[in-house]
């Protein structure tokens, strides 16, 4: 905590500028949101009045209510689908990392036992080196 005060003093001017810009942007976007909300309310009232002119005021209220309930249901369904997709991707990433860790652990566990065999040392190490060189050349060709 003792280091925060000197750092704040060092960057004080920049922090003040950033804070002022954030404050101004928050006020501007807040006013925009307020005006958009007001416009949406008047649009809803205009739609109600138009429907009330065509039908009775009770039917117009029911139509508006049903429309907004369907919109809310559509937003909820979209959010649920997006949440399910995010969960599925997170599960796939976790499984991929777990399987990679399992293969790496198995290889590191088996390596000392394999290196005891003279045949693996004489044939396996040069083959692994050739495979590594081939993979490096392929990755350079792709770049």
DSSP 19-76: HHHHHHHHHHHHHHHHHHHHHHHHHHHHHHHHHHHHS-HHHHHHHHHHHHHHHHHHHH
In a domain, 95, yes or no: no
In a domain, 126, yes or no: no
In a domain, 39, yes or no: yes
pTM of the entire structure? 0.51
In a domain, 109, yes or no: no
- Provide the residue range defining the domain that includes 42: 11-53
**Chain segment 60-78, per-residue pLDDT in tens:** 999 999 999 999 999 999 9
In a domain, 85, yes or no: no
In a domain, 82, yes or no: no
In a domain, 29, yes or no: yes
Name the domain count of the chain.
Answer: 1
pLDDT at 46: 95
In a domain, 68, yes or no: no
């Amino acid at each position: 905590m003792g280091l925060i005060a000197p750092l704040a003093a060092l960057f004080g001017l920049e922090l003040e500028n950033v804070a002022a810009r954030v404050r101004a942007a928050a006020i501007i976007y807040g006013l925009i949101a307020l005006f958009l909300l007001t416009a949406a309310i008047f649009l809803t009232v205009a739609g109600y009045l138009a429907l009330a002119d065509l039908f009775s005021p009770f039917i117009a209220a029911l139509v508006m209510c049903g429309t907004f309930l369907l919109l809310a249901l559509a937003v909820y369904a979209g959010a649920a689908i997006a949440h399910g997709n995010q969960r599925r991707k997170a599960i796939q990433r976790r499984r991929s990392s777990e399987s990679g860790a399992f293969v790496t652990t198995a290889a590191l566990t088996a390596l000392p036992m394999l290196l005891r065999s003279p045949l693996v040392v004489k044939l396996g190490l040069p083959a692994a080196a050739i495979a590594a060189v081939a993979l490096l050349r392929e990755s350079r060709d792709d770049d």
